[in-house]
Structure 1
Amino acid sequence: MFSVSNSFISSLKRNALGGLLLAAMSFPLAAAPETTVLTPDQDWMPTTDLSLPRQMKIGALENGIRYVVMPSRYSQKTVSLRFELQTASNQTWLVANEADLNSRSLKEALVELRDKVLVNDKVPAAPQSKLTVILVGDIQVRDAIDQIDIVFGGAKIGNSIPGRLFAEKPSPSLEQPEDAETSAQPVAANIYLKTRLTDDQEDSKMRRKELTASQLADDVLMARLEKQLLEANIGLVAVEMEESWSRQQLVSTITVALSNEEELDSAKTIVAKVLEGAKNGNVTADEFATQVQLRHDLFKRHLKVSPSQQADGIAQAIRFNRVYVQPSDELRLFEFHIAHMTESDVSESMIVNWSKGTEMLSHVTGQ
């Protein structure tokens, strides 16, 4: 695996000397708006050296509700709709709706989404909260914007948000990613590793490189956890990572799911030892190359996404105040960054991520 993985890294570095550099640097400096008359309130996406997809249109209605319209020819007469509310403290409420335009109109689908959103006949909101309607699918841009204005433009905006909304789980999409795995093995206990990082930097190509190194550091840490637990014959169900916002901090949570609660103490000892090692980094060339190849393969599997997956991706980008980049461009950026990265960069990120403010919690399911 060592020689195969490192030859893969070498090929990326060679490509950087040719077309890859040109491709990665060919991103327009900023997304071209639909017209030249967007006000600052309407042109609300971050403006950096990353750009939005050319076919994506953004704007804002007179009542302050923002919108994103993204045409997609993935499936005829299919449209995915999202409404995202984000507070000043980064609490998020996401409502999803899927529509087959063979059986109903776009306006009817938008009305259904609006009715799911309204609380006491008003769109819930609070000072400095952000309200966004997202539309992805087989649509005409101008018509879609008009329909959003018709349905949401006259909506009354509230001045409070019921706390119960944030306790609700997001409305599920109709499908899961192709590589989503569901385990029939029951989970008896979980161990949670949490680290908090202040993420107030503007999105940019350089920031994406830092995030790539950070993600690879987490990938290496998860691989180490899995290896050590399996070698100790611990009943391991899964090791997974999730990012979320807490106030102005980005929280990374690694969940270690166990099948036997009686092994919880032994597993916690192993996890603590692996976490202590992470504070020194020491990512090897083999670990770096292996995780790069795995993440590269993941990007390639996700090059073609459905409207539902794309709508969720746009919602996530808005949530993290990042520029939405299409999967093909994400892959190009990843390849460019990897061509200018080594295991030392990943080691440094691991030390920064997991040396301070790290928590280890555990929970036995059913209790």
Structure 2
Amino acid sequence: MPKSTTVDRLDNGLRYVVLPTTRSSDEVSIRVRVNAGVAQENNHFPTARIVALDTIQGTNWHVSTDYQQTVFDIDFASATSSDIEKALEVLYAGLTQEVKQPNAEQLLESAQDSLTDIDELISQRHLDTLTQALAPLDEQSLSQTPLESVKEFKQTYFTPKQVSIVVVGGIKKKSAIKSIERQFSLWNTTTQEQSLHSTPQLELISKAEEASPITISSLSTFHDEEDSKLHRKELLMTTLANKMLEQRIQEALSEQHLQAQVDVDNQVLFDHRLLSQVRVANLEETDKVEVKKVVQSEIKRALASGFTQTEYEMVVSQVRKQLERQTRLNDPDNYTRNQADRVVAAIDSGSVYTAPSYDLDLLNFHVAHLNEFDISKEFEHNWSTASSVIM
């Protein structure tokens, strides 16, 4: 965590993170995270999405409804202390107002411009849904959702102890903290809060669509569940192994003249397990059987013989370039908003926020002491049926 960061709580339990990232610009990004998302919905009704859209109705805020969190966001190319306080004031009003009977037409119109829903978030991560079946966000589901269900969701989860505020950018730290205190310190609720989420049983949901992607997933555990250098080393080795598998699958498909987009990514889940997933998209329906055979064959080959030094060095170079592109030097226009998103992601995963420059230094440190045999061993841990669950 950078030394300039302030992390604290108000007396009502609301947590805030204030992170100055620049002195040469007035750009500011604000994120307000609620510790509940579509996983806490009643399976039949999109209550999280309804409450989220109702909260920002008629404002300039945007919202994302993820699996275990709802995140409100707003970005300023240039903002004064007054602008920051006004934005927080507007959102506070939405967070604390009594929810109204859903107007399906208005909410769907608002969703087009102001909502990034769970399906889009999963698509951006190149990962298929690993969750319980979700209620659709459409006119029928909105019109059938009881107002009492919406009210119950908001009263249960939209409370100070479930909220984190993140303010990042060219800010005056003391002024930003004062704005948070003025707008949110009087927020108190009498409703009994749920201290623990009811986490649904995980299962892979595949949409029955024409030309749907092929996915093969693996769930494994960390040797060290605490966020530490060892934990991040494991995550790095998994990333390198999966990217080497991705390249092998892509090359094998090309050799057989099969056209498709291959992504092999990983994500730390809410229960601290590690999801690795092969996802092959943009393929012809008639090629699916053959493509799946190629994927399974390459996984078996990697388990049997591991990876080569050439593959290792190539992927390390690619990951290094990816991290370099995320630094302020190479991405000044998006750096502030990206850091705000990284702080939220750290809160969601229960890890410590680190800047891209730190991750780059950590990469260089670890790869200096790793080789292709270490990565092959980590791949076996993640993809072998003896140590993981393959779906």
Q: Same fold (TM over 0.5)?
A: yes
What do residues 270-306 of structure 1 show as CA deviations (whole Å, max 9, x unaligned)? 1111122233361111111111111111111111152
Task: Tell me what 1:19 maps to.
Answer: none
SS in 2 for 1:95: strand
Equivalent residues of 1:95, 1:116 under 8 A apart:
no
Alignment: residue pair count:
285
In the alignment, which of 206, 223, 230 is matched to residue 206 of structure 1? Answer: 230
Q: How does 1:1-367 map to 2 (within 5 A)?
A: 52-73=1-22, 76-86=25-35, 91-99=68-76, 100-101=78-79, 105-115=83-93, 117-118=95-96, 120=98, 125=157, 130-157=162-189, 159=192, 188-199=211-222, 201-280=225-304, 282-304=306-328, 305=331, 306-356=335-385, 357-360=388-391
More deviation, 199-208/281-290: 199-208
Cα pair distance change 1:240/1:214, threshold 3 Å: closer
Instruction: Letter of the 1:212 partner, please give it.
Output: L
Counterpart of 1:188 in structure 2: which amino acid?
Answer: A
Segment of structure 1 superposing worse, 337-346 or 208-217:
208-217
Is the contact made by 2:249 and 2:262 (CA closer than 8 Å) also made in structure 1? no
Query: Residues of 2 paired with 1:140 and 1:343: CA distance?
Result: 46
Shift of the alpha carbon at 1:155? 2.0
| Stretch deviating more after TM superposition (304-313 or 102-111) | 102-111
**Identity rate, percent:** 27
Tell me the residue number matched to 1:181. Answer: none
1:265 is displaced (CA, Å) by 1.2
Q: Cα distance, 1:75 vs. partner?
A: 6.9
The answer on whether the counterparts of 1:281 and 1:350 sit within 8 Å (CA) in structure 2 is no
3-state SS, counterpart of residue 280 of structure 1: helix
Q: 1:270 to 1:63 in 2, by over 3 A?
A: same
Q: Deviations over 1:289-333 (max 9, x none)?
A: 111111111111111152110011111112222211111111111
Q: 2:213 is paired with a residue of what secondary structure?
A: strand
1:251 deviation in Å?
Answer: 2.1
Is contact 1:242–1:254 with CA below 8 Å preserved after alignment? no
1:131-181 per-residue CA deviation (whole Å, 9 max, x = no partner) reads 3111111211111111111112222345468xxxx9xxxxxxxxxxxxxxx
SS in 2 for 1:264: helix
Q: Of Structure 1 and Structure 2, which has the larger fraction of its residues in helix?
A: 2
What runs of 5+ residues in structure 2 fail to find an aligned partner?
40-66, 100-153, 200-209
**Normalised by the size of structure 1, how large is the TM-score?**
0.70
Distance in structure 2 (CA, Å) of the matches to 1:300 and 1:340? 20
**Could you tell me how far apart the structure 2 residues matched to 1:155 and 1:281 are?**
59
Give the letter aligned to residue 272 of structure 1: Q
Output the CA distance in 2 between the equivalents of 1:352 and 1:131: 36
Amino acid at match of 2:285: E
Q: CA RMSD in A?
A: 3.0
Q: Displacement of 1:196 after TM fit?
A: 1.3
Residue identity matched to 1:109: A
- Gap change, CA 1:129 and 1:62, over 3 Å in 2: closer
Give distance in 2, aligned partners of 1:324 and 1:281.
36
Q: CA deviation at 1:189?
A: 2.5
Structure 1's 281 and 95: CA in aligned 2 closer, same or farther, altered over 3 A? Answer: farther
User: Which TM-score applies when normalising by structure 2?
Assistant: 0.66
